[in-house]
Structure 1
Amino acid sequence: MSRPELPGWRWGPFTFRLPFYHTRLYWPELLQGIFIAAATGLSLIPLMTMFFGLTFEEAVAASMIHSILLSTALIIFGEPYAPGWLTPALPLVLAFAIGAGDDPTLRLQAMAALSLDFALLLFVLGVTGLGRKFIVWLPETLKAGIILGAALAALKRVFIDDAERFLLQQPIATGLACAVCLIFAFSLPMQRWREKYRWVALIAALGLLPGFLVAAIVGPMVGEVSYDIQWGILVPPVADMWAKMSPFAIGFPSIGMMVEAMPLALITYIILFGDLVTGNEMILDGQKSRPDDHIEINPTRSHVSLAIRNGLMGLIAPFFPTQGAMWTGVHVIIVQRWKQGREAMDSLHSGLISYYGMGIPVLFFILPLLTGLQPLLGIALSLTLVLTGFACAYIAMAIPTSNASRGAVLMIGAGLAFFEPWVGLVFGVVTTLLLVGWDTAPRPASDEAKVIEPVAGGLQGER
């Protein structure tokens, strides 16, 4: 029997759901979220300390701000997706920001420019409904080239640009971590094992955590990891972080930098739209098993909430693209348990909010956990980028349907990975026109037909 969506306090298109009052606590999701979020959410700290002039403690404070903003997607805005980074864009973003100059201030201003550009773009495309039309209008070859560009940029970052800082310092631990995660996530033989053995499926469901555990155990044995665990409570120095990161303290990006960042914001929007389509499809599929828990899909709400989150991040602690719509692996895990019925999970919103620590970023205050993970953060970053590169590559190469298109996709991907965003995007458009033509799909793909059609109603205010 169908019921209305889980109630909360409505404000505009959003719904505020207070933890423990509107939503229930589910311990399995809470415990998974604490440990997996700790393993992945802190993996940007090596980048913040090496390239952006932050201390470890200041980077922890920035990560805490990013985590709080992610939690607002569920608690304050009422989104039905497990929020996460726009990981495929990360290597392109790093190349852009690090290329802004040797001064960490310039690099952080580049991050602010990307965040503010992205926020403005999301707001305009969301409230006008132009976002859906823009994505459908883009050629399939150009879309695939953009995704492959993210894959090449990710692998280039690990194996060439930052190899001496990360990979070559911990080669065995990093290699084993990557191998374990790639096998459990993508191996075809392992998929058969997952269907046959429940314990294999449980390990695979933990995402990046098995790889981290292997690195944590093997690393000390081979002399690549040395722990210096400290006890106590860490109070993240938010004021010091603000003084080094916020545009209000270091100055706002110039108009020229904002213009330079816009092509990368457009590229990131294409990736974001794919996440929204995927998340909506998962929810619509889950509704077949859970008609009793209605979930509202509203793209206006999603676009505007993402715009607000990215705008706030750009003003407080800019580090693009940590404010995306969905963490696919986590969303799949929670939706799968939600589909099992009310006995397993009364409401999807309760499960999502439980996974994200009920909005309380406790892990950032636990010094033993932070210092225990510190020597593994370089491995975490390399692992994140390798998995991103692999996943983006197989998605991109599945899109083209002709040899000319496949060759064009490779050229576009290389252009985006090795050139400036404006140059790469122009190169991609010209390559598409000359080698393939403007090959837009004549009609929305099957997933868009099922998801975007009802979504369009939300853009027009029908929901």
Structure 2
Amino acid sequence: MLVKRPDGEVQPGIKWGPFTLRIPLVHLRFSLSDALQGFAVAGATGLALVPYFMALLGLSFEEAVVMAMIHSLLISFSWMLFGDPYAPGWLTPAIPFVVAFITTPAYLGDHTLQFQAMTALSLNFAFILIVLGVTGLGAKLIKSVPNVLKGGIILGAALAAFLRVTKDGDAANVFQSAPIAGTLGVVICLVFAFSKPMQALAMNKQWLAKLLSMGLLPGFVVAGVVGYFTTEFDYNIRWQLLDVAGASVSLWEKSSPFIIGWPSWGTFAASFPLALITYILFFGDVVTGNEMIEQAQKSRKDEKLDLNSSRSHMATGIRNVLMGITAPFFCTQGVLWTGIQVVLLKKWSEGREKLDSLYDSIGSFYLFGIPLLYVLLPLVTLLEPLLPVALAVTLILTAFACATLALSLVSDATERGAMVITAMAFSVFEPWLGLGIGLITIVALCGVKVFKPEQEKSEEHT
């Protein structure tokens, strides 16, 4: 029986420590439209790293799919076991750093050492998160960030996403390998998610309103069908079930530190700087997610979304520990999937009659944590050609949402200019260098007063 939420309260669940467990079909309702788009978008995106697993780590196709399935299961823990109101995802900007790290001469060609390096990265990152979460220092750090720096971090994420779509990587390649299908899919997803004229038209046309409620799914269907007829996509369907048991055993034997041995102290030391750099990315995602939710919360007084940065630190740390000892591939356990968060929040902000709880939408999008897709190889291979489209769509949605949010955070012209310079530094340079340039720019142009708490600022003006 579904538990009903009192008006203005947090969605009910089972408290355990600082976390909240929410059981599907008890504390969460099923949303068909979110489940369908999650099946296509989350499924295709979750499989996007399978080629990396095979090429870099020497896994078979089946082992790589099982690894992706484990990562997906752990990601679902974020909202189901821990109670975070975010659509969780990867720390995607860290992927190039991770690949560069495990392909240095010290690790290249030795898959055992590469997996040990991944475990060391995951445990180092988890250590940072858990310490900052338990002590509350992470939450205090996030609250102390001024809007101009928040805007710089968020806008930097937007610029970095745009660059990935237009310059390099699989997301850019889709416009070269599938220019018709890829472009159509991306444009339809973007228009359906953000177009004001489309939203206005849907108010008088019920069929269009139902179509828009499907979110990103129509864009993926159009891309898939058009790609088939233009021969831009090559479908090679495998009509069989995944041997989950066999692939899981062989993956465990190749990757788990309980079998291959734990990383050396030298590997832990060598990987710690990258874990610190990744924390800046995590920090930016938490800032972005909180700002998005606070903006959307204004239109939904009936459900209070409990934001707790300390909880997010600890929950993400625990997920990284579990990933690091079962299927280590660092940066697959982040706190926020920005492009999807904005889509789900947009639907949630339309009112309780459209969606009772944001958790209904998040839970359904991730199929309540049931990884059925990964077991059915016909579905896996059906989505395989759409992997670059999924990546391009999520990056463009991320870029658009982050840009609009960042530009709304500051109104002072000087602060806005400093924010843009900070964003450019974050998008071009490594995170540590980008942060340093941003801080220097903000202090030089805006002064140290921007770092004072909002209460102190308001008192100075009175």
TM-score range, shorter chain: 0.7 to 0.9
Q: 2:188 aligns with which of 172, 180, 184?
A: 180
1:100 aligns to what? 101
Q: 1:62 aligns with which of 56, 64, 67?
A: 67
Cα deviation, 1:189-237, whole Å, max 9, x if unaligned, reads: 3343344434334333333322211210111222210111121211342
2:248 aligns to what? 238
Cα distance in 1 for residues equivalent to 2:201 and 2:94: 37
**2:289 is the alignment partner of 1:275:** yes
2:345 aligns to what? 332
Residues 230-239 or 16-25, more deviating: 16-25
Residue 74 of structure 2 aligns with an amino acid whose one-letter code is L
Cα distance in 2 for residues equivalent to 1:84 and 1:417: 22
Q: How many residues align?
A: 435
1:413 aligns to what? 423
1:451 aligns to what? none
Cα distance in 2 for residues equivalent to 1:32 and 1:247: 36
Name the SS of the counterpart of 1:315 in structure 2.
helix
Q: 2:382 aligns with which of 364, 372, 380?
A: 372
User: 1:382 Cα shift?
Assistant: 2.4
Cα distance in 2 for residues equivalent to 1:410 and 1:284: 27
User: 1:117 Cα shift?
Assistant: 4.3
Name the SS of the counterpart of 1:232 in structure 2.
coil
Residues 2-11 or 28-37, more deviating: 2-11
**2:403 is the alignment partner of 1:393:** yes
Cα distance in 1 for residues equivalent to 2:350 and 2:71: 26
1:144 aligns to what? 151
User: 1:30 Cα shift?
Assistant: 4.7
Name the SS of the counterpart of 1:161 in structure 2.
coil
Cα deviation, 1:171-205, whole Å, max 9, x if unaligned, reads: 22222221112222233433433444343343333
Cα distance in 1 for residues equivalent to 2:115 and 2:200: 45
1:218 aligns to what? 226
Change (3 A) 1:278 1:423: closer
Change (3 A) 1:180 1:34: closer
Cα distance in 2 for residues equivalent to 1:200 and 1:113: 50
1:308 aligns to what? 318
CA contact (8 A) 2:102 2:117 kept: no
2:216 aligns to what? 208
Residue 162 of structure 2 aligns with an amino acid whose one-letter code is L
Aligned runs of 1:187-202 on 2, under 5 Å?
A: 187-202=195-210
Cα-Cα RMSD = 3.8
- TM-score using structure 2 length: 0.78
Q: 1:153 aligns with which of 160, 180, 185?
A: 160
**2:89 is the alignment partner of 1:85:** yes
Cα distance in 2 for residues equivalent to 1:137 and 1:437: 15
Cα distance in 1 for residues equivalent to 2:349 and 2:196: 21
2:458 aligns to what? none
Cα distance in 1 for residues equivalent to 2:279 and 2:16: 28
Change (3 A) 1:282 1:406: closer
2:460 aligns to what? none
Cα distance in 1 for residues equivalent to 2:419 and 2:118: 27
Residue 284 of structure 2 aligns with an amino acid whose one-letter code is I
CA contact (8 A) 1:412 1:424 kept: yes
2:270 aligns to what? 256
CA contact (8 A) 1:229 1:371 kept: yes
Residues 34-43 or 208-217, more deviating: 34-43
Cα distance in 2 for residues equivalent to 1:406 and 1:15: 38
User: 1:93 Cα shift?
Assistant: 0.9
2:442 aligns to what? 432
Residue 345 of structure 2 aligns with an amino acid whose one-letter code is V
Change (3 A) 1:47 1:430: farther
Cα deviation, 1:42-78, whole Å, max 9, x if unaligned, reads: 334345445555443333212211221122234433x
Name the SS of the counterpart of 1:168 in structure 2.
helix
Residue 129 of structure 1 aligns with an amino acid whose one-letter code is G
Change (3 A) 1:121 1:368: same
- TM-score using structure 1 length: 0.78
1:460 aligns to what? none
Change (3 A) 1:337 1:61: farther
1:383 aligns to what? 393
Cα deviation, 1:324-374, whole Å, max 9, x if unaligned, reads: 256514643774688129xx85x7766654554343211111111111111
User: 1:29 Cα shift?
Assistant: 5.4
Cα distance in 2 for residues equivalent to 1:47 and 1:273: 29
Cα distance in 1 for residues equivalent to 2:60 and 2:257: 18
Residue 415 of structure 1 aligns with an amino acid whose one-letter code is A
CA contact (8 A) 1:97 1:110 kept: no
Change (3 A) 1:196 1:319: farther
Cα distance in 2 for residues equivalent to 1:203 and 1:53: 42
User: 1:404 Cα shift?
Assistant: 4.2
Residue 130 of structure 2 aligns with an amino acid whose one-letter code is F
Name the SS of the counterpart of 1:267 in structure 2.
helix
Aligned runs of 1:283-322 on 2, under 5 Å?
A: 286=300, 288-289=301-302, 300-317=310-327, 318-322=329-333
Structure 2 segments unaligned to the other structure (5+ residues):
456-462
User: 1:262 Cα shift?
Assistant: 0.4
Cα distance in 1 for residues equivalent to 2:243 and 2:446: 56
CA contact (8 A) 1:412 1:428 kept: yes
1:128 aligns to what? 135
Cα distance in 2 for residues equivalent to 1:417 and 1:31: 33
CA contact (8 A) 1:138 1:440 kept: no
Residues 63-72 or 142-151, more deviating: 142-151
CA contact (8 A) 2:37 2:217 kept: no
Cα distance in 2 for residues equivalent to 1:141 and 1:396: 9
Residue 270 of structure 2 aligns with an amino acid whose one-letter code is G
